[in-house]
Amino acid sequence: MPALDKSAGLTEAIARIGDGARVMIGGFGVPGTPFCLIEELVRRGPKNLTIIKNDANEPGMGVDWLLSAGMVKRLITSHVGLNGNAIRMMNAGEIEVEFVAQGILAERIRIAGAGLKGFVSDIGMGTLLAEGKQRLEIDGETYLFEPAIEADFALVHAARADAGGNLVYEATARNFNPLMAMAAECTIAEAETIVPVGEIGPDAVHTPAPFVDHLVALAELPEVYGVVKR
């Protein structure tokens, strides 16, 4: 049976994202951040977004475009240390920020992708990171409940894809992308190269096609991706 072609135009794909949407964005720093999808989201301009991303990129890059455009109500992240603008907006109360330990953030996204309610952990016990979390008694000891983080959309960046939606990431650009692709109601992927179905070996796929809804082909990469213009 042939694979369904998931190819989509950039505008058409991003137009689905409306006010108040919860949007996961892949990437750890620059690698794996879907800058072109974010740029189109800024052009589109929905408001009151909840953004879930490991970090807030740097000023003038990626997530910061959304922050500066006033589109973000809430940011769920592991750290924003490289973005003074995000710190300023947080301190000024212009955005809500929920800090989550990095591996717990990854796992809360993953557990949503796994269709489960949450997980039980001892990470942060005895520190202020445990404050406000539901406590559970298991085997006579106290643990923390970590709820799944679900989202309406995931925006991910792949190095290579086939037209059916199988994705392959490169090096440390993998990071949160495969987890988010599984966790959102609708996954929109941008890919540097789209190859015909059948060219990516089934053992080499990182994100299987059923997790991908729309696939956007990138033209030449802008410099923000770290591309050095020669």
Partner 1 sequence: MSSKDRMLARAARDITPGMTVNLGIGLPTQVMNFVAADCPVCLHSENGIAGVGGLAAPGQANRNLIDAGGGYITCAPGGSFFDSAVSFALVRGGRLDLTLLGAFEVAANGDLANWIIPGKFAAGVGGAIELAQKAKQVGVLTTHIDKHGNPKILERCTLPLTAVGCVHRIYTDMAVCDVRSDGLHLVEIAEGVSLAEVREATGAPLVVADGPMPTF
126 binds a copy of itself (CB under 8 A): no
143 binds a copy of itself (CB under 8 A): yes
Find which of a copy of itself, partner 1, none residue 99 binds, CB within 5 to 8 Å per kind: partner 1
Find which of a copy of itself, partner 1, none residue 50 binds, CB within 5 to 8 Å per kind: none
- With H, G, I as helix, E, B as strand and everything else as coil, classify residue 118: strand
Of residues 104 through 133, those in contact with partner 1 by CB under 8 A are 104-107, 109-110, 112-116, 122-129
150 binds a copy of itself (CB under 8 A): no
Q: Which burial class, exposed, middle or buried, applies to 67 when counting CB atoms under 10 A from its CB (0-12, 13-18, 19+)?
A: buried
User: Which C-beta is closer to a copy of itself: that of 51 or that of 104?
Assistant: 104
Phi and psi dihedrals of 210, rounded to 5? -60, -15
Q: What is the dihedral of CA 119, 123, 124, 126, to 10 degrees?
A: 100
Find which of partner 1, a copy of itself, none residue 35 binds, CB within 5 to 8 Å per kind: none
Q: How far is the CB of 4 from partner 1 (least distance, A)?
A: 4
Q: How far is Cα 41 from Cα 62, in angstroms, rounded to an integer?
A: 10
169 binds a copy of itself (CB under 8 A): yes
Among 39, 150, 152, 170, binds a copy of itself (CB under 8 A): 170
Number of residues that bind a copy of itself (CB under 8 A): 25
Residue closest to 173 by CA, chosen among 114, 226, 108 = 226
Residue 201 tokens, joined: 């070996």
Return the DSSP state at 225: G
Q: How far is Cα 20 from Cα 4, in angstroms, rounded to an integer?
A: 30
Interface with a copy of itself (CB under 8 A) = 107, 111, 114, 116-122, 134, 136, 138, 143, 145, 147, 168-171, 174, 202-204, 206
